[in-house]
Amino acid sequence: MRFHILALTLLLSFSAPSVYAEDERTAGSKPEAVKSDYSETYRQLDLFGDVFERVREQYVDEKTDEELIENAIQGMLSGLDPHSSYLDEDDFSDMRVQTRGEFGGLGIEVTMENGVVKVVSPIDDTPAARAGMQAGDLVVEIDNIPVMGLSLSDAVDKMRGKVGTKIKLLVVREGEDKPIDVEIVRDVIKIQSVRHRIEGNVGYIRITQFNQHVEDGLEEAITEIKKELGNKLVGFVLDLRNNPGGLLDQSIAAADMFLDKGEIVSTRGRHESDTRRDNASSGDLAEGLPIVVLINSGSASASEIVAGALQDHKRAILLGTKSFGKGSVQTVMPLPGHGAMKLTTARYYTPSGRSIQALGIDPDIFVEQAKIESYKFRRLREEDLERALDKKEKDQTSEEEEEEASEEPQDYQLLRAVDLLNGLSLYKDSLTAMKESIDAQQAQKDQDAEKKEKQE
């Protein structure tokens, strides 16, 4: 009975959920069902009590009751899915700091897959990104310690450490014949969630992560691009590649900036009463200009909400590769004096009713990232021939500069997106010119007809 009280106390001690990651849900109660399950619940609690007591008394090393209970809770939550977990007080504090856009670590978003840590995406301008970590990398060892057998929380704890200290990861990467050793120096991660620049007559906006600064940053970026380019602006590229997601309200706000009406996303939980729909408010900051959204396998969660909403409303063309497919909602519920629990409580659906979970978002135009290299073969010219007339000395310096410039890496997917927007602009201009010409011809005909009628 002691264990019945202990377990039931744990079950009843949760405070009201406080959402830091994505969404909030309240489960409906079913007293009749609960009563019918009492006998089975007590039987299972007896099993838990027996195991707890044996581990407590007979395990080779002495463990505190707190350690055993935390391990039991972690096991219960992590056994549900890759995203549910128990957060101790330090983990809970780190998570809240991360949503504010500044935290310590390597700079990678990770999940668990087949017993190893899988990189969802590296975050721009962080130690992990600079070390060459890629979306889809599998971390199999951390400082020579195998990851297999560790929980995601344990693996993340091992990757954390003091700023300036080194960590060595053994990484399995698709396309590589053998595992890769990656050494990373830990640092304070400061995320600039929104960046922008001009690409010709196109406004380029990159969202690295959906933290609490995205709404303000995106609005500022759109405003500055419109101010700088004015009437020359032909469209926007919204780059969501390797964006691991973040706050639900920020993703809704981002999609809303490009939509004038309609549903953005729906979240559906266990019970019908848990369904929630978020709709766009009037006003499109892009003023109807075409948008190309870049996505890849590192675009997850909140990124997929934005991409799916703009795609379903035909407001943007999606270009790149298939997204990650994390379409579940995690609610963070603080536990007084014990950190918090992160529990999957619902699934995301795009406006057309498509589930994102494990399916991802397919781009409208499939374009894999490619490395562009110049071919340095040079054809023989008249000036290269011996004793050629009017032959001049070659400028070796300019040739070297030309070769170096040609070796600068280029973003192939971004180039295709910019080309697409420029093409759409030319097509639109051609249609406008054609319409104006037809209207002018019709006006002239009307004038001629009117003049003829007067003469008659």
Residues classed as catalytic: 301, 312, 326
Q: Counting Cβ atoms within 10 Å, is residue 240 exposed (0-12), middle (13-18) or buried (19+)?
A: buried
Q: Hey, which residues does 165 pair with through a beta bridge?
A: none
Per DSSP, the three-state class of 433 is helix
**Could you give the 3-state DSSP secondary structure of residue 79?**
coil
Residue 214 backbone dihedrals phi, psi, to 5 degrees:
-65, -45
| Contact partners, residue 233, CB within 8 Å, separation at least 6 | 201, 202, 203, 225, 226, 289
Please give the radius of gyration of the chain, using alpha carbons only, rounded to the nearest integer. Answer: 29
- Sorted by sequence, the CB contacts under 8 Å of residue 420 that are 6+ apart come out as 292, 317, 319, 365
SS3 267: strand
How buried is residue 258: exposed, middle or buried, by Cβ count under 10 Å (0-12/13-18/19+)? buried
What is the residue whose two structure tokens read 């999940």? 111
For residue 304, the SS3 value is helix
Q: Give the residue among 345, 342, 346 at the shortest CA–CA distance from 156.
A: 342
Contact 356, 331 (CB under 8 A): no
- Phi, psi of 364, rounded to the nearest 5 degrees: -70, -35
Cα 325 from chain centroid (whole Å)? 10
Question: Which residue type is seen at 223?
Answer: T
Name residue 396's amino acid: Q
Q: With CA atoms as reference, report the closest residue to 7 among 38, 46, 63.
A: 46
Q: Which helix (H) or strand (E) holds 332?
A: strand 328-334
| Tokens standing for residue 173 | 């990467």
